[in-house]
Amino acid sequence: MVILLKNLSGYAQENIESSKLKSPIIGIIVPLQDESLFLQKNIVHNKIVIISGVKYNIGTINNKNVVFVNSGLGKVNSAVITTRLIKDFHPNLILMSGSSGNINAAVKKWNVVIGKRVINADFGELTSNGTQFQYSQYLLSPQTNTTLPLEFDLDNHLLKLINHLDDDHLPKIVLGNIATSDALPNQASQIKILREGKFDVIEMEGASLMQVCWLFNISCIVIRGVSNNAEEPITQQDIKLAADNAAKVLIKIVSNYKN
C-alpha cells in the first residue's frame, strides 16, 4: 500500500500519519538501499507513505512502531532526512544503520561498531597533526545562541541498553569512536591522522544525524557494520554483508528499547 500526501507548503503540513502511531516511535535511517534490504524484510505491516517527496516505510519490529527511510550518502543528505523524519513523525529515538571502513586494526571486518562517541572529523583544517578545529565561531547556532559540539557521546540510558545486548546470534559488537567525513581517506597519511585521533571506523553520515538530533533533543544511536579496511577496495557484497550485520544489532536494540 502506498499513501501519497501532497503538500505544497513543505513543513507547514500537520502530518496525519504520525498521529496514528503510538509512542514509542523509533525512526530508522539507512543511507543506501543496498544497505537496508535485510532490515526492510524484518519490518512487519510495512506500508509506504510519501510526504512531500520523502518516501517512508511505516510498520513494526517486534511490536515496536518504526518509521524507516533512506537518506542517501553524505552529511547533507543525512541532516536533511533526519530533520524531515523528526518534523514528520516526532520519533522518540532515531537509529542509523549501515556500513563503514575500519581505521583501528583491532576492529575486524564484519564486527559492528556502535558509536559511543561520534565525531565530525573533517570540520576545520586538516594538518599533519590531525584536524585542527580553529573555526569555533562557525559552530555557534544563530537560532539558539548555543555552541554546537563537534563530537557526540551516547547517553547513559542508551549505553545501558547497549551493554545488555546479550545474544549469541549477534555479530561481535564494539562500543567505539566513529569518524564522519564526506571525504573518505585513500592514502596512508590520511589514515595515519585518523588513527592518531583514536577513531575505530569511518563513515559519511553519523555525526550530522547526531547534530540534528542534539538540536531537537532526540535520542539517537549510530550503528555501523565493518565492511573493509579503509586502505583496501570495497565491493557491493562487502557493503551489503556489513550492513546486514548492523541491521541485526539494530533489530535487537529496537526489541529491547523502552521509552
Q: Residue 257 has what pLDDT?
A: 93
Please report, for residues 63, 74, 169, 190, 204, the alpha-carbon distance to residue 90 in angstroms, rounded to integers and kept in the order given: 18, 23, 32, 38, 24
| 8 Å CB contact between 58 and 42 | no
User: How high is the pLDDT of residue 18?
Assistant: 52
Please give the backbone phi and psi of residue 208, each rounded to the nearest 5 degrees, phi first.
-70, -40
Take residue 249 and report the three cell numbers written for it. 544489532
Q: Which pairing describes strands 25-30 and 93-102: parallel, antiparallel, or unpaired? A: parallel
Contact yes or no for 51/88 (Cβ under 8 A): yes
Q: Per-residue pLDDT tens for 154-213?
A: 988 999 999 988 777 899 999 999 998 887 766 666 677 776 767 899 999 999 999 999
Residue 48 in grid coordinates: 509506504
What percent of the chain has a predicted confidence (pLDDT) above 90?
Answer: 58
Query: What is the pTM assigned to this prediction?
Result: 0.87
Q: Please list the residues that pair with 203 across neighbouring strands.
A: 180
Backbone angles phi, psi at 31, to 5 degrees: -60, -55
Rounded to the nearest integer, the mean pLDDT of the chain is 85
Q: Is the pLDDT of residue 258 over 60?
A: yes
- Measured between alpha carbons, how far is 129 from 39 in angstroms, rounded to an integer? 39
CA 54: distance to chain centroid? 17
Asked whether the predicted pLDDT for residue 10 surpasses 50, the reply is no
DSSP classification of residue 24: P
Grade residue 75 by pLDDT with cuts at 50, 70 and 90. very high
17-24: Cβ within 8 A, 24+ apart:
17/49, 17/51, 17/58, 17/88, 17/89, 18/88, 18/89, 18/90, 21/58, 21/65, 21/67, 21/89, 22/65, 23/65, 23/92, 23/259, 24/64, 24/65, 24/91, 24/92, 24/93, 24/257, 24/258, 24/259
Provide the pLDDT for residue 187: 64
Q: In this structure, which amino acid lies at residue 156?
A: N
Q: Spell out the residues 6+ positions from residue 115 whose beta carbon is closer than 8 angstroms to its own.
A: 152, 154, 176, 177, 178, 206, 210, 221, 222, 223, 224
What is d(CA 117, CA 37) in angstroms, rounded to the nearest whole number? 27
Q: Which residues make beta-bridge pairs with 25? A: 65
Please identify, in words, the CATH class of the domain defined by 2-256: alpha beta
Average confidence (pLDDT) over 210-219? 94
| Span 5-17, average pLDDT | 43
pLDDT classification of 126: cutoffs 50, 70, 90? low
Grid cell locating 112: 559492528
Q: Is the pLDDT of residue 110 over 90?
A: yes
Segment among 17-21, 61-65, 96-100, 246-250 with least mean pLDDT: 17-21
Q: What is the pLDDT of residues 227-236, one digit of tens each?
A: 988 677 788 8
Cβ atoms 23, 70 nearer than 8 A = no
User: Could you tell me which residues come within 8 angstroms of residue 16 by beta carbon, excluding any fewer than 6 positions away?
Assistant: 5
Confidence of residue 85 (pLDDT cuts 50, 70, 90): very high
pLDDT at 101: 87
Q: Cα 200 to the chain's mean position, in Å?
A: 16
